[in-house]
Amino acid sequence: MTGLRRHLLATALLLGMTGMAMAAAPLAFADAAEEARFHTLTAQLRCVQCQNQSLADSDALIAQDMRRQVLSLMQQGQSDAQIRQWLVQRYGQFVLYKPAVNASTIALWLIPAGLLLLAAGVAVPLVRRRQALLDHGPTTPSHGDDW
């Protein structure tokens, strides 16, 4: 029984190392143009695990899988738009650094502009009021006892 356990453990370790070696294997590009296109595309996509890293920069395992999938789709002849669409269907709009403007993402595009307008609407009257107070001097006469 002990020999069988050792054999199973050795097999499991060997399979695990094989999987790690496959995950770490470099990507094979057909030519320099394909490699340039790949790097441009993956720089425009977000790693779904790291959130603030591009797919090109992330070291996460899912990012490695996503990069392999992007290259596979490229080698199948799909356009960049088709690859982005495939990733959006699988991972959602979050995978795009620049999501499309549509009904589900309109808030992402309008909220920053709305907050900027709101801040300007609050700041401008405050600055004008303060400037008017400074231009007209103090509202009560001072009799030398400023403390």
Taking the CB of residue 94, how many other CB atoms lie within 10 A of it? 12
User: What are the helix (H) ranges across 25-105?
Assistant: 32-43, 61-75, 80-91
Task: Give the model's pLDDT for residue 112.
Answer: 87
Tell me what pLDDT residue 21 has. Answer: 45
Spatial neighbors of 88 by CB under 8 A, at least 6 apart, are: 95, 96
Q: Give the pLDDT confidence score for residue 110 in this predicted structure.
A: 84
- Left, alpha or beta for 137 (phi > 0: left; psi -120 to 50: alpha)? left
Task: Give pTM, 2 decimals.
Answer: 0.57
Distance CA 112, CA 145 (A): 48
Tens of pLDDT along the chain (147 residues) come to 566 677 656 666 655 555 544 455 788 888 999 999 999 999 999 998 987 899 999 999 999 999 999 999 999 999 999 999 999 999 988 898 887 777 777 877 788 889 999 999 999 999 999 988 888 866 565 666 666
Cα(50)–Cα(123) distance, rounded to whole angstroms? Answer: 36
Domain boundaries, the chain: 10-100, 101-137
Give the whole-angstrom CA distance, residue 131 versus residue 136.
Answer: 9
User: What's the CATH fold of domain 10-100?
Assistant: Helicase, Ruva Protein; domain 3 (1.10.8)
